[in-house]
Amino acid sequence: MSNVITVCGSLRKASFNRMLANALPALAPAGMTIKASPSIEMPLYNADLQAQGFPPAATALADAIRAADGVIIVTPEYNYSVPGALKNAIDWVSRMTDQPFANKPVCLQSASMGPLGGARMQYHARTIMVFLDAFVFNKPEIFVGAAQTKFDDKTGELKDEATRTIIKQQLEGFEKFIERHKQHKA
């Protein structure tokens, strides 16, 4: 059994990436549970603030990452890169003792209205995760391009069957990846 959390890089409640993250539990294999992480909304990282203690939101996020068997980051691409709120949350938790991404299986997904589906952001996110010593799952990759055509605009449901199929394949592969990681750690 794998307990996985999703970290959504969009703060907007009706974002396509939030819709994608919300679709994942129903697409997960039988041995995987997926739930949302605590909020990534927290003050801008500042070493002076850190000296006074970590904000509760950063501590909650770090604790959730540590407790999970794996993390799925579902995020849009802003200006060819990682959104500022997500990068800020990563910056906060990366400074903690027992840094939570170290040796953690991580999977990436992105959705955008453009044709590339967030591919440039995923390259940058992979680079960040390499620095944090996370284990990033490689294939299949999930880039949901033209997201506005893949979700029901009233319910937020992921209606595109080809996208649902490849996500199921990714989640099955990620579950095996997590299990291999658990065996290697034992």
The domain limits of the chain are 2-185
**Quick check: 8 pLDDT over 90?**
yes
- pLDDT value for 140: 95
Q: Please write the tens of the pLDDT for every residue from 69-111.
A: 999 999 999 999 999 999 999 999 999 999 999 999 999 999 9
Whether 107 contacts 70, CB under 8 Å: yes
Q: Of 136, 135, 129, 137, nearest to 93 (Cα)?
A: 129
Q: Give the β-pairing of 135-136 and 2-8.
A: unpaired
Q: Which CATH number fits domain 2-185: 3.30.460.10, 3.20.20.30, 3.40.50.360, 3.90.550.10?
A: 3.40.50.360
- pLDDT value for 183: 87
Whether 41 contacts 59, CB under 8 Å: no
Number of H helices, E strands in the chain: 6, 6
- pLDDT value for 185: 73
Tokens of 34: 């997926």
Sign for the CA dihedral angle at 73, 76, 82, 85 comes to negative
